[in-house]
Chain A
């Protein structure tokens, strides 16, 4: 294992909250991935009487048509985590590429890319997402694409700023003087030095994507039933009888979203400290 990675690990592990969060997060992810092994029921087919309160057979009770709620939440976590991860991947790749190009080449390329960034940033994100979600057929693929194409400007600006300051450093200047090819300078010298901040930012986007997906599915414009997602499970809670008398139908899903997001945020915070060059070694 190389030294800088070990140092990162040591600095990260100093954050107790982040370590707990990482354990919880990994447990939840493992549960989501191995869902068929954990539960004998199907997330979309009834498996018992309807509206059963929690008992030993149905850990979190059953819903209006008799589907096991624990099973549904496990599978919902799969969907929500996948949407969050893929959306983050798309927006990060897009943002890093555009940011690198914009910061390194400057001039007209920079002006055009930053112009587009300004336009996308001037939209309230949710408005753009809602309009797009209403217009394209809602579903997993479209949600991933919509969220992915909305969150990149932040990354692009971050990377551009980093590139601009890296260009002034001596090691890049010496690369330029030595006549190294632009491709090499950009991808082998500049890009590795922006990975830390990008990773930190990506955890933030991951958390936001999970929240956005949940909100969209909650108002019925995201993942469509019968496919469970953490947001659309909560959808039924707007009816008063569910809200008051059947907390097992809405409380667990909400708590799971909260847990996922807060754990991701804590991990991101510890990563920020670990990558901070001004931090204590």
Chain B
């Protein structure tokens, strides 16, 4: 097991290198970020000096190597715009993002798992079709449109929930206040997770229900409730773990747009600002982080797999 984890970690290194290399190439095509700053009050000469300070006058591969060297020594560089260190910037914004995505994942799975199992147990009945219909609906609605609808109903019409931010400005942000701000953005993300996964879990459970060992369990006459609870659910754990592992990168990306709409002060907000302002060190930092998150999610899936399924040995 330990050997397997080490092997996976080693395999992650070339993937991360690949990710950063692709980022660097895309940005090199885009050109010099300082070109955007040229204007009546900023001369070419002063920008040339800036470029020299930032190392932008060097050839691309040298820039990449020096960036890589920095990263290995634990320094992600400094933002071109705010001059804050990228690590610090990410550090202060990752909390809200984790809170948002974590809540959404929990909420989404709490909806998807029971509904998926229910749907599979009652397969080809009317309620099964209704649930499948709903799950298609949930995965077909654009997140930003759902956000607008929620804001329209809950903020504008009913005046129940705040439409943006993480807590009411001026207050310190009590738990209940943050929770109220969290409801709509996490719901938007949870709906898409649930929509995609109800069908996935349903078909996974359906496959299990057709297995011989379940036929044996039924033949023993222990009753449908016990068959499902004891024999089917245990085995349904595997697809559920897979789903959670797959959802993490999707969530990480999906939160960018949702954070933008609800002005949630997380990574998505600084990412968007960095992208619009061509703040390359920040973009590189976030891309690297997202790569790490995805690879960690994959590794975690593998480990949980081994824990849940005694037949898997690494």
Contacts and interface: CB of A to CB of B under 8 A. Distances in A.
A131 interface: yes
Nearest to B12: A122
Interface of A: 17, 115-116, 118-119, 121-127, 130-132, 134-136, 207, 211, 214-215, 218-219, 234, 237-238, 240, 243-244, 250, 254, 257-258, 261-262, 265-266, 269
Contacts of A240: 156
Nearest to A216: B257
A266 B15 CA distance: 36
B151 interface: yes
10 contacts: A121-B294, A123-B291, A134-B275, A215-B144, A234-B145, A240-B156, A254-B148, A261-B141, A261-B142, A262-B140
Given A124-B252, A126-B253, A131 B144 contact: no
Nearest to A212: B142
B287 interface: yes
A130 B275 contact: yes
Contact of A122 (B136, B271, B283, B291): B291
B29 A135 contact: yes
A64 to B, nearest CB: 17
A135 B26 contact: yes
B85 interface: no
A122 B295 contact: yes
Nearest to B139: A265
Nearest to B136: A265
B34 to A, nearest CB: 15
Interface in B279-305: 283, 286-287, 290-291, 294-295
Question: Chain B interface secondary structure, helix, strand, loop or mixed?
Answer: helix
Given A135-B30, A214-B142, A258-B141, A244 B256 contact: no
Main secondary structure of the interface of A (DSSP, over half): helix
Bin the interface of chain B by size: 35 or more
Contacts of A122: 15, 19, 249, 291, 294-295
A207 B140 contact: yes
B136 A269 contact: yes
B27 A127 contact: no
B189 to A, nearest CB: 12
Contacts of B256: 124, 126-127, 130
Given A119-B18, A122-B249, A215-B257, A127 B140 contact: no
Nearest to A137: B30
A156 to B, nearest CB: 16
B143 A215 contact: yes
Nearest to B138: A262
Contacts of B133: 17
B142 A254 contact: yes
Contacts of A211: 140, 142
B136 A123 contact: no
Given A124-B294, A130-B272, A234 B144 contact: yes
